[in-house]
Amino acid sequence: GSAGLLITLFLLSILWFLIWRTDRKRSQLPPGPAPWPILGNLWQKDVLPLYRTYEKLCRTYGPIFTIWLGLKPVVVLCGYEVVKDALLGHSEEFGGRPEIPLVVQLSKDYGFISNNEKKWRELRRFTLSTLRDFGMGKNSMSQRVQKEAQHLVELLTKLEGNAFEAITMFRHAVANVICSVVFGSRYSYSDTVFLELLNVIGNYTSLFLSPIAMAGILAVYNTFPNIMNHLPGPHRKALAECEKLKDYIRQKVEIHKLTLDPSCPRDYIDCFLMKAEKEKSSPENMYSNEDLVMSVFNLFGAGTVTTSNSLLFFLLILAKYPHIQAKVQEEIDAVVGTGRAPSMEDKLKMPYTNAVIHELQRFHKTRVENFPRMTTQDVVFRGHTIPKETTVIPVFSSVHMDPTHWENPKEVYPGHFLDEKGEFRKREAFMAFSAGKRMCPGEALARMELFLFLTTLLQNFTFQLAVKYEEMDL
């Protein structure tokens, strides 16, 4: 009776307070769909993948709008002009990285994706400097990629034209490049332990990076982390898979400690261990063993998955549009021939191939979700007040589909990157590697890998779809 009535009144009071607080916050933020109490707009995302939901909301509310994940507002930015203004024109204000609960659970705030701004800057600087020392962006790195591309060609030749499942092979090839820098060695395509690790990477990225996961389990976890930590589900499996990879890295680190020669560092791990020794007395030591493990994890995962997925997507598109594939092969034959492998020096002489790679990246990035940013201070942006520490999502798919900057945004059209003379031209609305202070640190390596792997494969093979053209949904 009376106890039940009191509980009901108490719950209604809490609900009323949450609605009042949300409405108060909404009045201070850009417009957007009305959130449900407690749940926000989480279950109002009625279109998958997310970029289509954002497109729909952009048409209704304009290029700057707010959605709610539970009780947290998220400001979404759409279109080239708005995204450019935020990330380049207001790079400091939009340069933060919000705390993503699932990432925190995975990383424990170690490594160079740490939410600690000082640690992030320091480890990012160290990592980029070390990768450059080991050839990133230089001829020695291109030779590593060329060598691995030849291993991949040899493997595909043995298939004698039969259909094959490509992603594991591509993932292995790309992983070997980063492994040669991080671990100091590459791995055979028949190495069962390494194949299992690649499978682990595939399993956890299917949760972290797929559009359905972004809108489903990942969004739910990041909205209600304390509840989800105690519930079964794919998030628990993905985190367990990540631990397997981290355990493997820990083993590698221990072996490196036993064999380290400070006068002759072999790889990234050696350099990190040497830096850790120098910094061990520092009160703000950012070079702990777990920082090393997570930094290698970040390099290994990000440096493998995104590039191998892009390479697979490129070849699927080229198989679907054989006239584009044939024209790239004609340019390879004319510039490189058959007596040697393609090199980075050939790139400037291959405007059509360069244009195709950029166009395929643009087209691919219209289907890939983004990692969010965070405001580092209160900011008045294009007439809207966005409070400090607000999560912000720049929708790069909207940049790459912006009809005011692309002639045929929904089509695969290499002409986007060619001038009237057939020479390659840059496009300011191309942001495949993000923009501003949080740009992808592996851009130089990724560009090199995509060019060398793709041209080497097309020099040796013509790719066809294993299913009918009409059945291929990209």
Q: How far apart are CA 72 and CA 216, in angstroms?
A: 17
Question: Are the C-beta atoms of 238 and 115 separated by less than 8 Å?
Answer: no
Q: What pLDDT sits at residue 209?
A: 60
Q: How far apart are CA 293 and CA 216, in angstroms?
A: 29
Please state the separation of Cα 473 from the chain's center in Å: 22
Q: What pLDDT sits at residue 390?
A: 92
Q: How far apart are CA 6 and CA 4, in angstroms?
A: 5
Residue 261, token pair as written in the block? 């020669």
Q: What pLDDT sits at residue 72?
A: 84
Length of the chain: 474
Q: What is the pLDDT of residues 268-296, one digit of tens each?
A: 999 999 999 998 888 778 899 999 999 99
Contacts of 165 (CB under 8 A, 6+ apart): none
Q: How far apart are CA 80 and CA 366, in angstroms?
A: 13
Report in angstroms the alpha-carbon separations of 40 from 22, 33, 45, 74, 297. Answer: 9, 9, 10, 10, 33
Look up the pTM and report it.
0.88
Q: What pLDDT sits at residue 388?
A: 92
Residue 324, token pair as written in the block? 């584009």
Cα angle 250, 371, 221; round to 5? 75
Q: How far apart are CA 197 and CA 207, in angstroms?
A: 16
Strand arrangement, sheet containing 72-77: 64-69, 72-77, 391-394, 373-374
Q: How far apart are CA 408 and CA 421, in angstroms?
A: 19
Report in angstroms the alpha-carbon separations of 9 from 5, 22, 23, 37, 38. Answer: 6, 20, 21, 16, 17
Cis peptide before 33 (omega within 30 of 0): no
Question: Are the C-beta atoms of 342 and 456 separated by less than 8 Å?
Answer: yes
Q: How far apart are CA 142 and CA 44, in angstroms?
A: 47
pLDDT in tens, the chain (474 residues): 666 666 766 666 666 555 555 655 656 789 988 887 767 776 665 545 567 788 889 999 999 999 888 778 899 999 999 999 999 999 999 988 888 887 888 888 888 777 777 888 889 899 988 888 887 766 778 899 999 999 999 999 999 888 888 888 999 999 999 998 888 889 998 898 888 888 888 777 766 665 555 556 666 777 777 887 777 877 787 788 888 889 999 999 999 999 999 999 999 999 999 999 998 888 778 899 999 999 999 888 777 888 998 999 999 999 999 999 999 999 999 999 999 999 999 999 999 999 999 999 999 876 666 678 999 999 999 989 899 999 999 999 999 999 999 999 999 999 999 999 999 999 999 998 888 877 777 788 899 999 999 999 999 999 998 876 565 665
Residue 440 marked ligand-binding = yes
Q: What is the pLDDT of residues 170-226, one digit of tens each?
A: 999 999 999 988 888 899 988 988 888 888 887 777 666 655 555 566 667 777 778
Q: What are phi and psi of 21, to 5 degrees?
A: -65, -40
| DSSP-assigned states of every residue in 406-422 | -SSTTS--GGGGB-TTS
Place of tokens 């050939």: 346
| DSSP-assigned states of every residue in 290-307 | HHHHHHHHHHHHHHHHHH
Place of tokens 């020669």: 261
Q: Domain 27-108+369-400 carries which CATH code?
A: 3.30.43.20
Q: How far apart are CA 362 and CA 348, in angstroms?
A: 20
Q: What pLDDT sits at residue 6?
A: 67
Nearest to 100 by CA among 89, 115, 85: 115
Residue 254, token pair as written in the block? 């221990």
Nearest to 405 by CA among 428, 423, 422, 383: 428
Nearest to 308 by CA among 438, 446, 418: 446
What are the extents of the domains in the chain?
Answer: 27-108+369-400
Q: How do the residues of the chain divide into helix, strand and coil, expressed in percent and rounded to 5?
A: 60, 5, 35
